[in-house]
């Protein structure tokens, strides 16, 4: 049965998903209406449960003709379990909810991520000022820097710092009302309140905050009604000496379509920016993260990651997590050499689009995209087409049938044949391998510039 399931899943899923998550799992037993699948570790189990359980159940039902319940278990004795589980927990915000303030009708309770505390924030020269300001605000809210406006690029720690203020405050006074909200959430609450004719409770809710943390305020651009309402919320809080903290990917005066009066309000406290971290700071962040998660990594592996992921701390951490997951699944040892395939920063950062694969292949092999989608059997064209199918399989998330569609409605077996052929040739032909790598780089660049 499991072999049949695997065969079918291979057709439905992309190659990386299939190889990392499905092929490495095993069917343990089938009893009555329940199938138990065994995975190498907890990280793997959670991932299967989250992403693939339905697909697997449907496939099994298809083959057996009746529905079965799928249970996923973990093989005994895996050390990475603790580490991996904590990552999975982090990715689902419901685990991190602190049920503090009582919500009024339409307004959700605040959610603070338990990991976003000061003690886990590594201070470097890039974030010294923002960190000091956040700490000052946490110690005496509503005094000096009101509002505190944190700005900096994606993944540089704005949300982390902002929530750290909340945690710190709650430690001092568990009753203080800390509201963390994204701008989007604020807008949604507002819209819901208008619909339900409950503006009163919306206003009461937001204006009762001791500290109001509003994330990604740049998204307020052009939303006239939200700006109007937020202006009043802001003023009420500010006049009452309550603290407002805002985070944005750019300073107030660069947010387009922001009312002048809001722009001036946002700028009246302190604007503190966070820059990308330097190498030393990146090393320190990785070390701290590894320490917290009880991971031992060779120094050169940490250096390798720190030197390849430079502009976004979320990606830096993501690379570390991927490395650990990969090692625990593959059973390889933790060396830079073994990690290269998963940590290749070029192609890894941006999932390639089918379109970019088409464009690059057409360009490099000097054929047209129509040729690639067509049925011509001319040698150069069918070669380019096979290369294209192979690359699409390697660097996109598309399944074999979907790739077939991209190439003008070819059968999935044709796609599979091409992928296997190119893959075999590549193994015995270094010049082809090099060519494929160049193509991959170009696809990566093309995908990125079009994102
Ligand atoms: P932003 O809100 O600026 O996009 P986040 O606050 O969400 O970024 O940070 C992204 C990830 O990087 C989070 O997991 C956060 O804990 C981590 N991080 C960011 N800055 C630091 C830092 N200085 N020290 C430790 N972890 C950090
Ligand atoms: Mg953020």
Residue-wise pLDDT tens digits, 378-395: 999 999 999 999 999 888
pLDDT at 124: 94
Q: Band the pLDDT of 103: cuts 50, 70, 90.
A: very low
Which of 105-119, 262-276, 339-353 tops mean pLDDT? Answer: 262-276
What average pLDDT does the chain have? 85
Quote the strand ranges of 183-297, DSSP E. 211-215, 243-248, 270-274
Q: What are phi and psi of 69, to 5 degrees?
A: -90, 140
pLDDT at 101: 37
State if residue 113 touches ligand 1 by the CB under 6 angstroms criterion: no
Q: Band the pLDDT of 189: cuts 50, 70, 90.
A: very high
Percent of the chain with pLDDT over 70: 89
Q: Is the pLDDT of residue 411 over 80?
A: yes
pLDDT at 171: 93
CB contact at 8 A, 251 and 217: no
State if residue 121 touches ligand 1 by the CB under 6 angstroms criterion: yes
Cα of 161 to ligand 2 centre, how many Å? 9
Q: Is the pLDDT of residue 79 over 60?
A: no
Cα of 261 to ligand 2 centre, how many Å? 24
State if residue 122 touches ligand 1 by the CB under 6 angstroms criterion: yes
Higher pLDDT, 396 or 257: 257
pTM for the whole structure: 0.60
Q: Band the pLDDT of 96: cuts 50, 70, 90.
A: very low
> CA torsion sign, 220 to 225 to 231 to 232?
negative
Q: Is the pLDDT of residue 100 over 60?
A: no
State if residue 440 touches ligand 1 by the CB under 6 angstroms criterion: no
pLDDT at 77: 46
Query: What is the chain's alpha carbon radius of gyration, rounded to the nearest angstrom?
Result: 26
* Ligand 1 atom, smallest distance to 127 CA: 23
pLDDT at 19: 76
Cα of 292 to ligand 1 centre, how many Å? 15
Ligand nearest to the CA of 312: 1
CB contact at 8 A, 385 and 404: no
Q: Is the pLDDT of residue 72 over 90?
A: no
According to DSSP, the β-strands at 26-31 and 34-39 are: antiparallel
Higher pLDDT, 88 or 347: 347
Specify the range with the lowest mean pLDDT, choosing from 115-129, 307-321, 393-407, 431-445: 431-445
* Ligand 1 atom, smallest distance to 162 CA: 6
CA geometry: angle at 65 spanning 64 and 70, to 5°?
60
Model confidence pLDDT, tens digit, residues 216-238: 999 999 899 999 999 999 999 99
Whose C-alpha lies nearest to ligand 1, atom 25? 121
């Amino acid at each position: 049965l499991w072999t049949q399931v695997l065969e079918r899943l291979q057709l439905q899923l992309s190659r990386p998903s299939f190889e990392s998550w499905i092929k490495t799992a095993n069917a343990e037993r089938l009893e009555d209406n329940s199938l138990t699948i065994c995975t190498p570790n907890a990280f793997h189990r959670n991932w299967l449960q989250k992403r693939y359980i339905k697909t697997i159940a449907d496939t099994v039902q298809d083959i057996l003709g009746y529905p079965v319940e799928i249970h996923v278990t973990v093989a005994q004795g895996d050390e990475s379990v603790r580490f991996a589980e904590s990552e999975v927990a982090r990715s689902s915000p419901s685990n991190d909810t602190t049920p503090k303030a009582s919500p009024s009708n339409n307004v959700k309770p605040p959610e603070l991520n338990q990991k976003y505390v000061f003690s886990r924030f590594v201070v470097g020269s890039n974030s010294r000022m923002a960190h000091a300001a956040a700490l000052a605000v946490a110690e005496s809210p509503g005094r000096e820097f009101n509002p505190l406006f944190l700005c900096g690029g994606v993944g540089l720690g704005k949300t982390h710092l902002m929530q750290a203020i909340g945690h710190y405050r709650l430690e001092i006074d568990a009753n203080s009302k800390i509201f963390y909200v994204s701008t989007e959430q604020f807008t949604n609450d507002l819209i819901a309140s208008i619909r339900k004719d409950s503006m009163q409770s919306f206003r009461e809710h937001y204006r009762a905050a001791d500290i109001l943390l509003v994330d990604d305020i740049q998204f307020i651009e052009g939303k006239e009604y939200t700006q109007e309402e937020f202006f009043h919320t802001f003023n009420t809080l500010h006049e009452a000496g309550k603290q407002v903290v805002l985070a944005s990917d750019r300073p107030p005066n660069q947010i387009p379509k922001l009312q002048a009066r809001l722009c001036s309000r946002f700028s009246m406290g302190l604007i503190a920016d966070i820059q990308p971290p330097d190498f030393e700071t990146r090393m320190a962040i990785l070390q701290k993260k590894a320490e917290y998660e009880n991971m031992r990594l060779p120094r050169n592996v940490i250096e390798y990651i720190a030197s390849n992921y430079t502009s976004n701390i979320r990606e830096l951490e993501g690379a570390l997590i991927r490395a650990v997951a990969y090692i625990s699944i593959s059973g390889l040892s933790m060396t830079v050499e073994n990690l290269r395939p998963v940590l290749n920063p070029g192609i890894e950062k941006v999932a390639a689009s089918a379109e970019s694969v088409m464009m690059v292949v057409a360009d490099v092999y000097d054929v047209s995209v129509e040729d690639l989608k067509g049925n011509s059997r001319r040698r150069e064209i069918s070669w380019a087409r096979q290369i294209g199918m192979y690359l699409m399989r390697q660097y996109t998330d598309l399944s074999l049938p979907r790739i077939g569609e991209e190439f003008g409605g070819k059968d999935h077996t044709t796609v599979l044949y091409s992928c296997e052929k190119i893959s075999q040739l590549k193994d015995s032909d270094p010049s082809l391998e090099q060519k494929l790598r160049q193509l991959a780089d170009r696809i990566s660049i093309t995908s990125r510039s079009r994102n």
